[in-house]
Amino acid sequence: MVKGTDLTAADKITESIRLVRGQKILLDSDLALLYGVPTKRLNEQVSRNRGRFPADFIFRLSRDEMQTLNRSQIATGSQRYRDPRFLPYAFTEHGSIMAATILNSKRAVEMTIYVVRAFVQMRSILFANTELARQFTELERKVSTHDQAIVGILKAIRELMNPPVSRPIGFTANIDKEQVDVSAVRRSSPVPAPTSS
């Protein structure tokens, strides 16, 4: 059973997780704070145990990546006071767990559980967002076909609302519009003229 404090600790760690080079990472300063050791000590241990950290566990950020993170994602002041000659390490999920094994501190071992939970939580959030985006795209497609059908229905309704102009039933005389020569009409008529008796 997961306790409430476990979830809040995992949530706090999740806030520190960044997306760099398509990977979810924790910066060395965040990881050191989490494990209760100075960043310098964490980096020393990583240097001494370099064989335990392949390229998919840890990498150094470039200056451009660091500037981008400073502008957009890093809200803590810890990066401001960092020596600019040394760019931070970025630990992936596996690298974060491996760092706990080389630190040999009780807090590092305890916090590993929270780190794992935070990465799992982040993975589920990303999956949910991907699924939501797929459903949204499908909904847009359906709505566009519905829009076309609605436009067709509205056109039909407009045609029904404006009935065509029809001639009135019977004979009508438009005397104002045209002067009709009655005698010419009688001559062309095939019906014989009535005789008076």
Q: What is the pLDDT along the chain (197 residues), one digit of tens a residue?
A: 444 445 456 567 777 788 888 888 889 888 888 888 888 888 998 999 889 888 889 999 888 888 887 766 545 445 544 666 778 899 988 888 888 888 877 777 777 777 777 777 777 777 777 777 777 778 777 777 777 788 888 888 877 777 666 766 776 666 555 555 555 555 555 555 566 65
Backbone phi, psi, residue 26, to 5°: -115, 135
Q: What pLDDT sits at residue 82?
A: 60
The bridge status of strand 18-20 relative to strand 23-27 is antiparallel
Q: Are 28 and 89 in contact (CB under 8 A)?
A: yes
Q: What pLDDT sits at residue 101?
A: 82
Alpha-carbon torsion, ordered 37, 113, 110, 38, to 10 deg: 0
Q: What pLDDT sits at residue 196?
A: 61
Q: Which CATH class is domain 4-128?
A: alpha beta
d(CA 104, CA 118): 21
pTM: 0.52
The beta strand positions in 48-96, using DSSP E, are 58-60, 89-91
Q: What pLDDT sits at residue 129?
A: 75
Which DSSP state fits 79? T
Residue 92 has a CB neighbour count (10 Å cut-off) of 22
Domain boundaries, the chain: 4-128
d(CA 144, CA 156): 19
Q: What pLDDT sits at residue 2?
A: 43
Q: What pLDDT sits at residue 58?
A: 92
Q: What pLDDT sits at residue 26?
A: 87
Q: What pLDDT sits at residue 193?
A: 57
Q: What pLDDT sits at residue 94?
A: 86
